[in-house]
Amino acid sequence: MADQYFGQQNSFDDSSEFNVTRFIVRQALGRVRTSIPVKVTAVHGGGVGAPPTVDVQPVVNQIDGQGNKTAHGTIFGIPVLRVQGGKNAIICDPVADDIGYLVVADRDISAVKANSGKVSNPGSFRRHNLADGVYVGAILNPANPTQYVQFTTSGMKLVDKNGNVVEMKSGEISITATKVSITGDLSVSGAITAVGEITAGQGGADSVTLQQHVHAGNNIPPTPGT
């Protein structure tokens, strides 16, 4: 007996003209790509400038009628979605091994990409092709973030990988860092408290500390508690 191959046709698909037609339509729709999870294999460009492009590989394998798997190849030069309005942007470029979604355009967008987003004719008559995708990330990433902006019920929190934290709550902003430097004039309406020393004119010939300075004429330092 010849080897049996199990495809996507079931025992009812050839039982009537309607079922045959439905099977053909279903198979045709199977070639329409809408979106698919992908892994980033390489990142090109990015940072302060144009959004990067990425090379990606779909993480859902192809299978044949016997269930044998075939991995997808790499899809090159996919544009990356960036949250941006005018010249205002949040820059968080993907990195290799990120998992995200490839959202597929229904027409060839290669000419639009080549013309930097200008209105263009489709580059070909292809439709719903993976090459016309846009990378949207991220999903299913195994690593917990070490740098993030978090919106909470009480306010906002900014954390970087060095342990610096800026937290904003109702009427209060707290900064946790080994050292905080401010360049420019500082105007404060309200009380200032500090556990450490306060120095004015740091690094200059007229440098004065708040706790250790002495007064001209008697060289007596300030009285603690006053």
Phi-psi region of 219 (alpha: psi -120 to 50; beta: other; left: phi over 0): left
Q: Global pTM?
A: 0.77
Distance CA 139, CA 133 (A): 16
Mention every residue, 6+ apart, whose C-beta is less than 8 A from residue 6. Answer: 65, 66, 67
Domain ranges of the chain: 33-137, 148-209
Let me know: does 114 contact 53? Beta carbons within 8 Å. Answer: no
Q: State the architecture of 33-137 in CATH terms.
A: Beta Barrel (2.40)
> The tokens 């860092």 sit on which residue?
177
Per-residue pLDDT of the chain (226 residues; tens, 9 = 90+): 455 556 777 777 888 888 888 888 888 888 888 999 999 999 999 999 999 999 999 999 988 877 889 999 999 999 999 999 999 999 999 999 999 999 999 999 999 999 989 999 999 999 999 999 999 988 988 788 999 999 989 999 999 999 999 999 988 889 999 888 888 888 888 888 888 888 887 778 888 888 888 887 788 877 776 6
